[in-house]
Amino acid sequence: MMMKLTGINQLTLRVNDLRQAESFYCNILGIPLDHRVGANIVYLRLYSDILVLVKAETKASPEARDIRVDHFGFRLPSDAEVDAAAHYLAEQGVHIVTRPANRREGRAFFVMDPDGNLIEFYSMHDKGITRSDVDIDISSPQESASVQEQPSTEEQLPDIPKKNRRSRK
């Protein structure tokens, strides 16, 4: 019997500093706090989706190559919203990994949260992902997000100092 999955209910991230991670996801990204469990677990809810932040038992180094989650994404309603989100996050001092770029199914960019987790923000055009898109190599966010990079129609993102970032290979 094949399961008929209908979506992803929750994503759990282990984080070094629970309060810093909670501030990033709640205050900068605007995901509402659902509830806390003790001092080490925070549940955030975006409609029916849940993001759980758990204080890591052992601190991970931003230079570590042992990445437990490659990335996760938040969908935005339009290409213009993608550009606006990139501008807003840059103003907040968030580490922008790739600038907004067009791709077959929409527009996207990547950032890193305070623990080095890679987050994609994207729009999905009406046609969505088609069968021909499934063979695209997404081995690195820079390669996949730079397919047809075009300048934003919004004002330019502020220059952000390059931070040390861990290798994604």
Q: For 71-92, write each residue's pLDDT tens digit.
A: 888 988 899 999 999 999 999 9
Residues in Cβ contact with 50 at an 8 Å cutoff, skipping those fewer than 6 apart: 9, 10, 11, 34, 43, 44
Residues in Cβ contact with 160 at an 8 Å cutoff, skipping those fewer than 6 apart: 90, 93, 95, 96
Q: For 29-50, write each residue's pLDDT tens digit.
A: 999 999 999 999 999 999 888 9
* Full-model pTM: 0.62
Sorted by where each starts, the structural domains of the chain and their CATH numbers stand as 8-58 (3.10.180.10), 70-155 (3.10.180.10)
Nearest to residue 151, comparing CAs of 60, 87, 89? 87
